């Protein structure tokens, strides 16, 4: 890899303060309402995360963790079961990532949502219901405490407790080995990709035939 080629990022662990969002079956429309899907890019989408459950029709704030200053800098989201169900919109994890979420711990996740999170390098880590509820209570009482999510060892550590967690095998390998970001992976192996392309008979390429002379085949 040359100095100009991007490094492939690995995600072995994530640490930060937590924010609890309670409730089962929190769907993608709650995470990011459909009217915000019209954006050309994902930039700025974070401010609309959970918008309709955070604000009234008159834009008055409701009682929601994402509205509380004590959770403003949180990077570990703690949720319950079947989080991210509903539509397959990739805007949901994009909004959470841009709000500042780097890892999500919960009882269970919708499969497509978890896959969309993986594409952003955001691990979705599962633990049993009692462990998740205890973590949510701890975060609620200790908003400045650090939560450590170890993807490689499949543990969640907070205070003096270490919780056994589960990371989907394919997700764990992709994050730990740094193959979750396919775009960066291709860029970091640009010459190998180009060499493979040149060897394919159905891909047009420029072939040098002499000093400075190039022809298309």
- HSE (side-chain half, CA atoms, 13 Å) at 92: 25
Strands (E), 55-179: 76-78, 103-106, 124-126, 146-150, 155-158, 161-164
- For the record, the structure tokens of 157 come out as 């550590």
Q: What is the pLDDT of residues 199-216, one digit of tens each?
A: 677 766 554 344 444 344
Structural domains of the chain ordered from first start: 14-179 (3.20.19.10), 181-217 (no CATH)
Q: What is the pLDDT of residues 110-138, one digit of tens each?
A: 999 999 999 999 999 999 999 999 999 99
> Whole-angstrom Cα distance, residue 128 to residue 107?
6
Rounded to the nearest 5°, which phi and psi values hold at 166?
-130, 135
Number of helices (H), then strands (E), in the chain: 8, 9
Looking at residue 37, its pLDDT comes to: 85
Q: Which residues of the chain have pLDDT under 50?
A: 1-3, 5-6, 184-189, 207-217
Looking at residue 7, its pLDDT comes to: 61
- For the record, the structure tokens of 177 come out as 């080995």
Looking at residue 184, its pLDDT comes to: 46
Give the neighbor-by-neighbor strand order of the sheet with 76-78.
124-126, 103-106, 76-78, 13-20, 146-150, 155-158, 161-164
Q: Which residues on neighbouring strands pair with residue 165, listed in sequence order?
A: none
Handedness of CA 181, 10, 83, 114 (dihedral sign): positive
Q: Which residues are CB-contacts of 195 (< 8 A; sequence separation ≥ 6)?
A: none
Torsion of Cα atoms, 120 then 42 then 31 then 124, to 10°: 0
Looking at residue 42, its pLDDT comes to: 86
Total Cβ atoms within 10 A of residue 97:
19
């Amino acid at each position: 890899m040359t100095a100009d080629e991007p490094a492939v990022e690995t995600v072995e662990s994530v640490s930060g303060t937590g924010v609890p969002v309670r409730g089962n079956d929190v769907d993608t429309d709650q995470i990011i309402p459909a009217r915000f899907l019209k954006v050309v890019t994902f930039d700025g989408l974070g401010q609309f995360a959970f918008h309709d459950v955070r604000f009234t029709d008159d834009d008055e704030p409701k009682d929601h963790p994402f509205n509380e200053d004590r959770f403003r800098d949180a990077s570990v989201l703690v949720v319950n079961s079947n989080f991210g169900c509903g539509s397959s919109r990739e805007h949901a994890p994009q909004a959470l990532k841009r709000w500042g979420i780097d890892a999500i711990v919960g009882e269970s996740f919708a499969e497509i949502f978890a896959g969309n999170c993986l594409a952003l390098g955001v691990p979705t880590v599962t633990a049993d219901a009692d462990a998740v509820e205890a973590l949510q209570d701890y975060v609620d009482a200790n908003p400045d405490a650090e939560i450590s999510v170890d993807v490689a060892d499949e543990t969640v550590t907070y205070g003096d407790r270490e919780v056994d967690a589960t990371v989907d095998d394919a997700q764990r390998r992709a994050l730990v080995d740094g193959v979750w970001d396919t775009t960066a992976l291709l860029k970091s192996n640009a010459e190998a990709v180009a060499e493979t392309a040149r060897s394919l008979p159905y891909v047009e390429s420029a072939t040098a035939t002499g000093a400075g002379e190039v022809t298309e085949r």
